[in-house]
Amino acid sequence: MKVGLGRVPGPPLLLPVEIVEVIVDYVARRSESQSRQGDLWSLCLVSRDWYSVSVPHLYSRPVLGPRNFELFTRTLCPPVNSRVRAIGLEDLVKELHLGDLAYVTSRSMTARLLRRTRTSLTTLVTPSHSMSTSSLAPISKMASLQHLDLSRDKYDFDICALTRAVQPVTTLRFLSLPRGILNTYPDSPASGRCAWSPALEYLEVNNTVPHLQSQWRNFITGLPQSLRILSFQHLRQNTQFGGIIDLGVEAPQVASLAIQGAEGVDCMLFNGIDLSALLQVFPGLIELTLPETALLSPLFYSYREEKFGILGRRLQALRFRVVQALGTPGPTGIVERALVDLAASFAQIQSIEISTAYAFASPTAVSASHELLQQRWPQEPKEAKGIFIVGQTSGTTSRWRWNPMFDEGTESTPSR
């Protein structure tokens, strides 16, 4: 039995271009990153109208891997002696995520690809092993670049060469430095000072911190006034922060500071972290993230000294979140006393985060501190204030607001 109307005679119905644009835009925004590229390619095959609308989305954020990278680069960057010439597709590329590519591209090919896309790129994640000084020249000419991630590897250029390249990029907002590059920071203004992009708001330092106090001083004084977030990530176990003690310089523009260890490393930083020294160098901190093991060092509690009381009162809405470090947790009693002490010592703190490894032994004192934080900042909703428990389940991070009934076996509810 035949079902349906069969083939309808006449030309196919054509959708208005405006409708096609809405459909393609929906697919580009809603599809997962892996299926997005295939879906957009299928739309390109419908008709010429669909092709003209879909191609800009297809090339704006390409998903590149070892199997398609060579074809992509040959399309955008044909060899000089080739009869094939570039057709302008490079101007459609907005984001290049090359971080998962290793030994797939050469240094010369990376530099050539960056030169081709320099006028349109807004986001660039560089590949491993194939970045060199020759790639810095096209980066310096990227007029629209906002996000630059160089964290995948160590490269053969120093920090001053990198900052000279990014300084002309006035649109750059986020910069993640190559691993270990801060070791090359000059130790005095006479030997050089790095000039950052004037619009830089988020700086991520990877794998290391300055070794010498003179390097710390030159690094802090050279930070741009536009910087709001400073993050030290993937630190090794023996990382030392002693160089910031009695540094004598400030970076008041920094509102958020994060210090975290590398994945799989118990981030017991050598000699601990002096919280007072951090607050002296970064007096404008609003949010601070530290490894939990910082609480186990006596050096951390130097803020209790009277001479630092004024400094603590200057802080505005400090959100102190202690994140879980991988490894064996310390004694619960020490951590609970630290939570109570932090809540009482800094009058502007409204939220503290701690991992599920600690917060269940004796909740009475912690509950009192939770109530204290709930009473602060009356203009803020209560859901955003108090002590929060952070844990990982099935690879995802969950966050619960402290429930004083934990000791009776009830569970808290997710905060937000």
Query: Average pLDDT by consecutive 10-residue portion of the chain (416 residues)?
Result: 51 82 90 80 89 92 86 81 71 90 80 90 90 89 94 86 92 93 78 82 91 88 94 81 84 90 59 81 87 77 59 56 48 72 81 67 74 83 80 58 50 42
Look at residue 27 and tell me if it is in a domain.
yes
Verify that 202 and 124 share a domain, yes or no. yes
Verify that 40 and 130 share a domain, yes or no. no
Which residue is it, tokens 């809540």? 343
- Residue range 141-165, pLDDT digits in tens: 999 999 999 998 888 888 888 999 9
Look at residue 192 and tell me if it is in a domain.
yes
Verify that 54 and 109 share a domain, yes or no. no
Verify that 187 and 252 share a domain, yes or no. yes
Look at residue 333 and tell me if it is in a domain.
no
Domain stops at, among 273, 300, 327: 327
Q: Which residues pair with 353 in a beta bridge?
A: 321, 388
Look at residue 134 and tell me if it is in a domain.
yes
pLDDT of 74 reads 84
Structural domain containing residue 78: 60-327
pLDDT of 168 reads 93
pLDDT of 86 reads 63
Q: How many structural domains compose the chain?
A: 2
Look at residue 199 and tell me if it is in a domain.
yes
pTM: 0.84
Alpha-carbon span 240 to 221, nearest angstrom? 20
Domain stops at, among 299, 327, 355: 327
Look at residue 1 and tell me if it is in a domain.
no
Verify that 102 and 181 share a domain, yes or no. yes
Verify that 19 and 165 share a domain, yes or no. no
Look at residue 194 and tell me if it is in a domain.
yes
Which residue is it, tokens 């949010």? 287
Domain stops at, among 271, 295, 327: 327
Which residue is it, tokens 């090919």? 109
Q: How many helices (H) and strands (E) does the chain have?
A: 12, 12
Total residue count of the chain as it appears in this document: 416
Q: What are phi and psi of 294, to 5 degrees?
A: -60, -30
Verify that 229 and 167 share a domain, yes or no. yes
Q: What CATH number has the domain bearing residue 217?
A: 3.80.10
Verify that 40 and 106 share a domain, yes or no. no
Verify that 45 and 97 share a domain, yes or no. no
Judge contact between 341 and 313, C-beta under 8 A: no
pLDDT of 370 reads 84
Verify that 24 and 140 share a domain, yes or no. no
- Residue range 94-125, pLDDT digits in tens: 999 988 887 777 888 888 899 999 999 999 99
Look at residue 135 and tell me if it is in a domain.
yes
Alpha-carbon span 236 to 229, nearest angstrom? 21
Verify that 46 and 171 share a domain, yes or no. no
Verify that 47 and 71 share a domain, yes or no. no
